[in-house]
Amino acid sequence: MNWDDTTETAADGEERLVGSAADGEDQAVEAALRPKDLREFVGQAKVREQLDLVLRAARTRGAAADHVLLSGAPGLGKTTLSMIIAAEMAAPIRITSGPAIQHAGDLAAILSSLQDGEVLFLDEIHRMSRPAEEMLYMAMEDFRVDVIVGKGPGATAIPLELPPFTLVGATTRAGLLPPPLRDRFGFTAHMEFYEPAELEQVIHRSARLLDVETDAEGATEIAGRSRGTPRIANRLLRRVRDYAQVKADGVITREIASRALAVYEVDERGLDRLDRGVLTALLKLFGGGPVGLSTLAVAVGEERETVEEVAEPFLVREGLLARTPRGRVATPAAWAHLGLTPPQPPPGAPGGAGQQGLFGA
Ligand SMILES: Nc1ncnc2c1ncn2[C@@H]1O[C@H](COP(=O)(O)OP(=O)(O)OP(=O)(O)O)[C@@H](O)[C@H]1O
Ligand SMILES: [Mg+2]
């Protein structure tokens, strides 16, 4: 599976409760849960402080804000922040995305119809076509585009002045942006995964908006399983709400949250069936590894790509699995998480099975 492909959404979002891409239901409810201004936006303290300065300064100057690049994993709040930027600047916002801009002409049409000070939100900016990208360089820097009229030797470039605007680009893959594009942003915000306490705030806020009663421990329980991602926190909250309404009195407590998420097979750390399947195979069948990716995938009954790109990133981030040149290796934390005991090394042998060279002496 290619990250640049929309299949990411299919594999990571639609089928998994803990997938980070937006599914249909997310899209329908997210608009209602989006914070509307910077003060309401939870967490990302550094980004918020820096962005606040950028926007305040622009407002004082009475000018459009500098172009802003938002980079970070899916569901951390890039689209939300872009809308907040427009709201804080009291400017209209135009929303489009890299894949929607196939030809430079598409971009020229959008740019030339912008109003003074408008925010242009370009989602998935790393997926824009090369000719459009080159047109964007000039638009960002000089607020000008050359529209090419005609073809072949008779083609002429007609320069077109643009009103000052703020480009807000969003990407999950900042590393894929060509340096000339990255350099033209005045401010780059790197969105980090959220701390559990921040996710608790997100959950309390969303619970209020969804009109569902949640006590402190209930929110803590959901936050711990949300993989550092507000989108997942909101999604788990909705599933727990369903359970609370059907099986209890509608109030979300620790007990209700943990029973509900057990039904949905999301464990205390946010691992789902796929994640646990991969870890269990690695521990039980291969003694913790090292084992090659293909062998591991066959053992789990999944595609290689699913294991590598859907399950592993989170397991690696959580320090449960390591990718080594000799294969996949479970960490001591993985044994502990699944409540299993690592095999003892034979007497006199250096290090334990599967941990040689990585964690062993
Ligand atoms: N800091 C935050 N405070 C409160 N809610 C948040 C925050 N960040 C994100 N959310 C919630 O999470 C949901 C997903 O956020 P958003 O759509 O902005 O993510 P994204 O980074 O644009 O994801 P993608 O990469 O998939 O486009 C939103 O509905 C919003 O309610
Ligand atoms: Mg988005």
Q: Say yes or no: 169 and 220 in one domain.
A: no
Element (H, E) at 359: none
The residue range of the domain holding 225 is 196-263
Q: Say yes or no: 111 and 178 in one domain.
A: yes
Radius of gyration of the chain (CA): 24
* Tens-place pLDDT, residues 94-140: 999 999 998 888 999 999 999 999 999 999 999 999 989 999 999 99
Is residue 357 predicted with pLDDT exceeding 60? no
Q: Is residue 351 part of a domain?
A: no
Residues 50-67 have a mean pLDDT of: 96
What percent of the chain has a predicted confidence (pLDDT) above 90? 79
Q: Say yes or no: 165 and 243 in one domain.
A: no
* Tens-place pLDDT, residues 270-326: 999 999 999 999 999 999 989 999 999 999 999 999 999 999 999 999 999 999 999
Query: Which of the ligands is closest to the CA of residue 191?
Result: 1
Q: Which two tokens stand for residue 135?
A: 């047109």
12, 23, 79, 331: the active-site residue:
79
- Indicate the average pLDDT of the chain: 90
Specify the CATH number for the domain of residue 313. 1.10.10.10
Specify the CATH number for the domain of residue 72. 3.40.50.300
Among residues 240, 263, 286, the one where a domain terminates is 263
Q: What is the pLDDT of residue 149?
A: 83
Which distant-in-sequence residues (6+ apart) come within 8 Å of 17 by Cβ?
A: 232, 235, 236, 239, 264, 266, 272
- Please name which of 139, 141, 142, 86 lies closest in space to residue 117, comparing C-alpha atoms: 86
Q: Is residue 12 part of a domain?
A: no
Q: Say yes or no: 180 and 88 in one domain.
A: yes
Is residue 342 predicted with pLDDT exceeding 80? yes
188 catalytic? Reply is no
Q: Is residue 81 part of a domain?
A: yes
Is residue 353 predicted with pLDDT exceeding 70? no
Q: What is the pLDDT of residue 350?
A: 61
Q: Say yes or no: 309 and 250 in one domain.
A: no
Domain count, the chain: 3
Q: Which two tokens stand for residue 215?
A: 């006590």
295 catalytic? Reply is no
Q: What is the pLDDT of residue 349?
A: 63
Indicate which residue's Cα is closest to atom 24 of ligand 1.
Answer: 74
Q: Which two tokens stand for residue 297?
A: 């995938």
- Alpha-carbon distance of 164 to 116, in angstroms, equals 6
Residue 31 CA, closest ligand 1 atom number:
29
Query: Per-residue confidence at 24, pLDDT binned at 50, 70, 90?
Result: confident
